[in-house]
Structure 1
Amino acid sequence: MVNITVTTPDKIDLSDVIIVVGISEDGDILSYIEKDSRLNQILKKINSFGQTHLNNIKKYGKSMTLGVNLDDTPITILLVGIGESRKLNSDRVRHIGGLVSLKCKELNFSKINVLKFFSEPSFFEPLIEGLILSQYEFNNFKEKSSKDELDLSFFDNCNINIITDGSEHGAELAQINKSKVICDGVFYSRNLANSPPNHINPDTLASSAKSLASIKNISVQILEQSQIKEMGMNGIISVGKGSENEPKVIIVNYNNSNANDKPILLVGKAVTFDTGGISIKPSDRMDEMKFDKSGGCTVLGIMKAIGNLALPLNVVAIIPAVENMPSGSSYRPGDIVRMYNGKTVEVLNTDAEGRMILADALAYGITKYSPKCVIDFATLTGACIIALGTNVAGIIGNNDKLIQQLKVSGITTGEKIWQLPLYEEFFDLIKSNVASIKNIGGRTGGTITAAAFLSNFVENVPWAHFDIAGTAWTQDGTSEKSYNPKGATGFGTRLILNFLENNRDSF
């Protein structure tokens, strides 16, 4: 991963590329730039190019490369506009960091000086995240040419200096190290989610999860099909029946607090490929159903980062992993399935499989671990995309305090979420004439009726459900962000890590 450090203006090596991002529409300049003679000379060179041309570059997200001479030394300057200073927020800073990173790669500059363009201390971490997250590429299955190899190794040999004022940079260096761990968790999640279904099935996903046991305080347990069946998790068994790849339940246990401290429970849907089963999906874009494991991949990325950050808490992650295939052994519309907690479900659509496996995992996790709160992630409903688009995840739950805390973390990390209501009338839509509940509630309020279904399996434990169907990977209609390259996004990884860091003693 790229080497990032912090230094002062007097340490700038002018043979490197100078990144000037503090070009705002309102002309704000940080004092440390004005005070340093060499930086002031650079600003004068920039201003000599004329205000009309520069005014366009000052707009948010615009960029321009300049070649100048300073003390007989040729310098490349990259100007990146930040727009109006008052509109600068953490996600804009993150996006600008990504733009800088991508532009430098395009120009093949591996030694980079980035002038800090903000005074708000909380913006430093988003800048680092943008610089790193934008580097991600999924090239595991490409035939390697010499050019590919160069591209892949570019950021392994890249050095970025953040130029700032002051002589003490301990806090910034700590933030850099933390951001690297967080981004590594996001990359792990993205790699798993992007992997094709002929390489990632329930068994290979479980094998990958086992590698997390090498991290201090983490243990991993895999429940096999026979154990899942014996325990009565028939929702998971039913969904996996049609595939030759047997279902698994992945349990990742992180203990770094008092043994009596109840854990936080994370649950992630991992349908490694979803054909829809007997209620088969249309063939158009079915290839994207490799991303139906994204909820589980997000949870695994979170656990990897928690372990490497050594957060002082207890967390249990449960990932039910299945492949939903049509065959002579598949579960069918009309089946009635008795779930782990004893409730029965009338199956009306085998493509509503995610809630079946989540329900068993939620009920099992709550019964076994008595968590202080539970949070689940799932690419659950297309209805969520219709309601909120592809940049906002839906969140529904039974505890307003928990949801509000998650919403604050979403604002901080730029992972946008919107709360949907869970009114009593939505429960009426999943009532069944022949079972406790049915697994679909009709076309209206599909995201909410799916959550109403899940609520039958969480009892009174504080619970939040993320529907990430629109945000788990970049889709048509997704506004581009420099730090989310095409493919899996790892949505929710950074959000939950922020939540855990700031709210671990709330429940």
Structure 2
Amino acid sequence: MLVVPVGARGALPSWLVDAADPVVDPGWLAGALADTGNGGRPGGITNLPVPGRRPRSVVAVGIGDGTPAEVRTCVSIAVRRGQTLAEHGATRLVVALDSAAGPAGPEQLRAAAEAAVLAGYRFRDSSAPHPPRLASVLLVASTADEGAVERGRVAGGSVAWARDLVATPPNTADPAWLADRAVGRLGELDHVRTTVLGPRQLRAGGFGGVLAVGGGSASAPRLVVAAYDPPGAGTAHVVLVGKGITFDTGGISVKTTAGMREMKTDMAGGAAVLAALDAAAALGLPVRVTAVVPFAENHLSGSAYRPGDVVTHVGGRTTEVRNTDAEGRMVLADALAHAHRELAATALVDVATLTGAAKTALGARTGALYATDDALADGLLAAGRAAGEPWWRMPLAEEHVAHLRAQLDSPVADANNAPGNPGATTAALFLQPFTGGLPWAHLDVAGPARAGADHGDTVKGGTGFAVRTLLRWLESGAPGGGTVPG
């Protein structure tokens, strides 16, 4: 199967128009595009069987003006069509990336490689035979930039790993299993050291939030600390913290059945930060970065934590529990405090499927970004634009949130864990005291961490959202995170 990119207003690439023996007659193709209304809109598709020669099928896919985002859409549509044809005998997909807008550059090549890896992603745990898949995807461009393609391939592979972790059923993916997966994969990388804390070490370290949330489950909690420290990385140390709730019943404040169905994905933030570190180490980035993920299952039992309990976190700060379904912030609090107290972090970024309020505010495809440092926020926003992951900065300046701080008050503890609306902002305010005053960004991915349908190179289910943003940010020198070489 050959993919021909169709530019804006139906423009065909010069390599096809000027060819002495084109694989398909340009005039015939132009007529077919007109008949099907394919004017080059990104993702528009026209299928053309080519009898008697190879390839047997030409698929014209809109690429618009050839921006990286439009290339990502074009390649994603092509890969999905190719996987469909694979069930009828196709084995190889060839995607031409040079369009009427000009040759594909490094950003287009990287976007194409990511989409080639991710658009055809599927997770299956079935006794039925898996359908045939494409044996290979070949990207063709006149500009040779193997580095850009490799960065895209690595990024795509790490996002796919995050998706695998999120998609694995919760009766398999308990805290111990996820910790083992992290140790196994990251242990193969240079300059990465992974440590796992079990219940005894968590008690000794004062991780009251993790132990409280995980106390109701037969699967004991774990804390994964994965440190990437390459030679010459400098003194700046970015710590990425991810929420790792392996399944969330809501605890004693139990969820409805409908609210519980997707809760195996409540560890998507933890998967994202581990995958970002995986990619950074695989690419050999000159940056010191550590991923900290508290894995716990929020369950119901006689040992579950209760509304009314007072929990003591790492460092001694206390929380009055008013809602056991506000558990993500309880485990993140411990991890953030551990990062600034024990890991000598110079900047903190946490990623969490934290609040339904963030999804209500921004929808299912945009992440909420809170930050205490403008350079950090600007760097992450720019990284998200480059990665094709949209973010919206939410207010955290004192003039916006001063009146909300009183909602965290508790008569028996330093704060309560359910301060009310606006829920995404009050959750961020709950976490802020645990950051030790370091530059800090909080990424609430409750919406985009899960997808109800395929779009772009995202597939239904866990998306791996935030992995590519964090990787791009680390590649750019982690602005707001201190002085990082490169």
Give the Å deviation of 1:360.
Answer: 0.5
Give the Å deviation of 1:27.
Answer: 4.3
Counterpart of 2:154, as a letter, is: V
Deviation per CA, 1:169-192, whole angstroms, max 9, x where unpaired?
2x2x22222211111101110001
Counterpart of 1:143, as a letter, is: S
Counterpart of 1:103, as a letter, is: R
Tell me, in whole angstroms, the C-alpha distance in 2 between the residues paired with 1:265 and 1:161. Answer: 35
Structure 2 counterpart of 1:447, from 424, 443, 455: 424
* Residue equivalent to 2:166: 193
2:155 is equivalent to residue 182 of structure 1? yes
2:61 is equivalent to residue 80 of structure 1? yes
Counterpart of 1:37, as a letter, is: A
Q: Secondary structure at the match of 2:171?
A: coil
> Does structure 2 conserve the Cα–Cα contact (< 8 Å) formed by 1:98 and 1:132?
no
2:461 is equivalent to residue 487 of structure 1? yes
Counterpart of 2:27, as a letter, is: K
Give the Å deviation of 1:339.
Answer: 1.3
> Does structure 1 conserve the Cα–Cα contact (< 8 Å) formed by 2:192 and 2:227?
yes
> Does structure 1 conserve the Cα–Cα contact (< 8 Å) formed by 2:358 and 2:444?
yes
> Does structure 2 conserve the Cα–Cα contact (< 8 Å) formed by 1:406 and 1:495?
yes
> Does structure 1 conserve the Cα–Cα contact (< 8 Å) formed by 2:379 and 2:478?
no
* Residue equivalent to 2:2: 18
Give the Å deviation of 1:144.
Answer: 3.4
Tell me, in whole angstroms, the C-alpha distance in 1 between the residues paired with 2:49 and 2:234. Answer: 62
* Residue equivalent to 1:464: 441
> Does structure 2 conserve the Cα–Cα contact (< 8 Å) formed by 1:97 and 1:129?
no
Mark the CA change 1:73 to 1:136 in structure 2 (over 3 Å): closer, same or farther. Answer: closer
Tell me, in whole angstroms, the C-alpha distance in 1 between the residues paired with 2:310 and 2:459. Answer: 42
Give the Å deviation of 1:59.
Answer: 3.3
* Residue equivalent to 1:235: 209
* Residue equivalent to 1:380: 354
Tell me, in whole angstroms, the C-alpha distance in 1 between the residues paired with 2:274 and 2:151. Answer: 18
Give the Å deviation of 1:292.
Answer: 0.6
Tell me, in whole angstroms, the C-alpha distance in 1 between the residues paired with 2:127 and 2:276. Answer: 31
Counterpart of 1:470, as a letter, is: G
2:181 is equivalent to residue 208 of structure 1? yes
> Does structure 2 conserve the Cα–Cα contact (< 8 Å) formed by 1:90 and 1:413?
no
Q: Secondary structure at the match of 1:456?
A: helix
* Residue equivalent to 2:43: 61
The answer to which of 298-307 and 219-228 deviates more is: 298-307
Give the fraction of aligned pairs with identical amino acids, expressed as a percent. Answer: 32
> Does structure 2 conserve the Cα–Cα contact (< 8 Å) formed by 1:45 and 1:68?
no
Give the Å deviation of 1:218.
Answer: 0.9
Structure 1 counterpart of 2:138, from 143, 150, 160: 160
Give the Å deviation of 1:41.
Answer: 6.1
Deviation per CA, 1:234-262, whole angstroms, max 9, x where unpaired?
11111111111111110101111337523
Give the Å deviation of 1:459.
Answer: 1.9
* Residue equivalent to 1:6: none
Tell me, in whole angstroms, the C-alpha distance in 1 between the residues paired with 2:148 and 2:234. Answer: 31
Residues 319-358 of structure 1 mapped to structure 2, 5 A cutoff: 319-358=293-332
> Does structure 2 conserve the Cα–Cα contact (< 8 Å) formed by 1:393 and 1:417?
yes
> Does structure 2 conserve the Cα–Cα contact (< 8 Å) formed by 1:19 and 1:78?
yes
Structure 2 counterpart of 1:137, from 115, 122, 126: 122
* Residue equivalent to 2:27: 44
Deviation per CA, 1:126-159, whole angstroms, max 9, x where unpaired?
12211221111101x21132xx1x42xx23x214
Give the Å deviation of 1:505.
Answer: 6.5
2:88 is equivalent to residue 114 of structure 1? no
Structure 1 counterpart of 2:292, from 318, 329, 334: 318
Tell me, in whole angstroms, the C-alpha distance in 1 between the residues paired with 2:55 and 2:284. Answer: 45
Deviation per CA, 1:100-147, whole angstroms, max 9, x where unpaired?
0111121223223322224352222112211221111101x21132xx
> Does structure 2 conserve the Cα–Cα contact (< 8 Å) formed by 1:257 and 1:314?
no
Tell me, in whole angstroms, the C-alpha distance in 1 between the residues paired with 2:255 and 2:457. Answer: 31
> Does structure 2 conserve the Cα–Cα contact (< 8 Å) formed by 1:405 and 1:503?
no
Tell me, in whole angstroms, the C-alpha distance in 1 between the residues paired with 2:33 and 2:233. Answer: 63
Tell me, in whole angstroms, the C-alpha distance in 2 between the residues paired with 1:40 and 1:275. Answer: 56
Tell me, in whole angstroms, the C-alpha distance in 2 between the residues paired with 1:260 and 1:244. Answer: 42
Counterpart of 1:133, as a letter, is: L
Counterpart of 2:463, as a letter, is: T
Q: CA RMSD in A?
A: 2.0
Tell me, in whole angstroms, the C-alpha distance in 2 between the residues paired with 1:459 and 1:313. Answer: 22
Deviation per CA, 1:443-488, whole angstroms, max 9, x where unpaired?
x21000000000010022111011111111113xx6x414111111
Deviation per CA, 1:1-40, whole angstroms, max 9, x where unpaired?
xxxxxxxxxxxxxxxx32111x234244444444432349
Tell me, in whole angstroms, the C-alpha distance in 1 between the residues paired with 2:470 and 2:22. Answer: 39
Mark the CA change 1:396 to 1:142 in structure 2 (over 3 Å): closer, same or farther. Answer: same
Tell me, in whole angstroms, the C-alpha distance in 1 between the residues paired with 2:142 and 2:181. Answer: 43
* Residue equivalent to 1:390: 364
* Residue equivalent to 1:428: 406
Deviation per CA, 1:331-361, whole angstroms, max 9, x where unpaired?
1111111211221111110100100100000
Q: Secondary structure at the match of 2:442?
A: strand
Tell me, in whole angstroms, the C-alpha distance in 1 between the residues paired with 2:55 and 2:297. Answer: 58
Tell me, in whole angstroms, the C-alpha distance in 1 between the residues paired with 2:405 and 2:67. Answer: 39
Q: Secondary structure at the match of 1:26?
A: helix
Counterpart of 1:130, as a letter, is: A
Q: Secondary structure at the match of 1:142?
A: coil
Tell me, in whole angstroms, the C-alpha distance in 1 between the residues paired with 2:33 and 2:85. Answer: 25
* Residue equivalent to 2:281: 307
Tell me, in whole angstroms, the C-alpha distance in 2 between the residues paired with 1:218 and 1:19. Answer: 40
The answer to which of 28-37 and 262-271 deviates more is: 28-37
Tell me, in whole angstroms, the C-alpha distance in 2 between the residues paired with 1:112 and 1:207. Answer: 36
- Structure-1-length-normalised TM-score: 0.88
> Does structure 1 conserve the Cα–Cα contact (< 8 Å) formed by 2:269 and 2:351?
yes
Tell me, in whole angstroms, the C-alpha distance in 1 between the residues paired with 2:234 and 2:62. Answer: 51
Mark the CA change 1:46 to 1:355 in structure 2 (over 3 Å): closer, same or farther. Answer: same
Mark the CA change 1:241 to 1:50 in structure 2 (over 3 Å): closer, same or farther. Answer: closer
> Does structure 2 conserve the Cα–Cα contact (< 8 Å) formed by 1:57 and 1:64?
no
Counterpart of 2:424, as a letter, is: T
**Count of aligned pairs between the two proteins:** 469
Give the Å deviation of 1:431.
Answer: 1.6
Q: Secondary structure at the match of 1:38?
A: coil
The answer to which of 26-35 and 254-263 deviates more is: 26-35
Counterpart of 1:411, as a letter, is: R
Mark the CA change 1:323 to 1:41 in structure 2 (over 3 Å): closer, same or farther. Answer: closer
Q: Secondary structure at the match of 1:107?
A: helix
Structure 2 counterpart of 1:251, from 203, 225, 240: 225
